[in-house]
A and B are shown apart, each in its own frame.
Chain A
Amino acid sequence: QSALTQPASVSGSPGQSITISCTGISSDVGVYDYVSWYQQHPGKAPKLMIYDVTNRPSGVSSRFSGSKSGNTASLTISGLQSEDEADYYCSTYTTRGTILIFGGGTRLTVL
């Protein structure tokens, strides 16, 4: 059981928008603006897509955006493209004891 809860899978058609949620508790997502999101294609290392809830690293498409409300963070991908099909993980700092935790991951399928 992962520390952060993500849906196991989401899907969307090309051009549509999808949102992946990441639910924690008041000692992590709820109190720190340190949520990050990672994209992982099969056989590849994870890639940082969003950091500190809303910030995009240089080179990441503006189609990717992040937000947070209470204990839940979200990653939104607009204008879905086939290359967006991948696994997505959220992560955050926590005071629970493990310091850094991940969600269980969400598989995005582009129909």
Chain B
Amino acid sequence: QLQLQESGPGLMKPSETLSLTCTVSGASISSGSYYCAWIRQPPGKGLEWIGTFYYSGSTYYNASLKSRVTMSKDTSKNQFSLKLSSVTAADTALYYCATVYRQRYFDYWGQGTLVTVSS
């Protein structure tokens, strides 16, 4: 059974760069079978797709966040990562990583990590 676990800083200040990791267990991301998506959910609000990272290195980002987002992988640690620059209070949210099947649906989800941006 595939399992994903997000980790992040918890509390950040405006203008900083958010860095999150998604550790995958139960399978090797080196197999190339898994694409990683990041999704966020502001407190009390709905879900927003941030982007998808393909093992080949191709990335697809939400147009509204594209200028601030970078996704990558670390095969040695079996991890995917997300960086979001110049954060503001509007970026306060629960951030999830999930595997995505061919840009069609999100099948495995992590438990999420809460990121709060506050001065």
Q: Which residues of A contact B (CB under 8 A)?
A: 2, 34, 36, 38, 44-48, 51-52, 57, 89, 91, 93, 97-105
Contact = CB atoms under 8 A, between A and B. Distances in A.
Contacts of B47: 38, 46, 89, 91, 102, 105
A76 to B, nearest CB: 18
A92 B51 CA distance: 14
Residue from the set A2, A34, A52, A99 with the largest chain B CB neighbour count within 10 Å: A99
Given A45-B110, A45-B112, A99 B49 contact: yes
Interface bin, chain B:
20 to 34
Nearest to B96: A45
Most buried by B among A45, A102, A104: A45
Interface stretch (B17-25, B56-64, B68-76): B56-64
B85 interface: no
A89 B104 CA distance: 14
B104 A102 contact: no
B37 interface: yes
A36 B64 contact: no
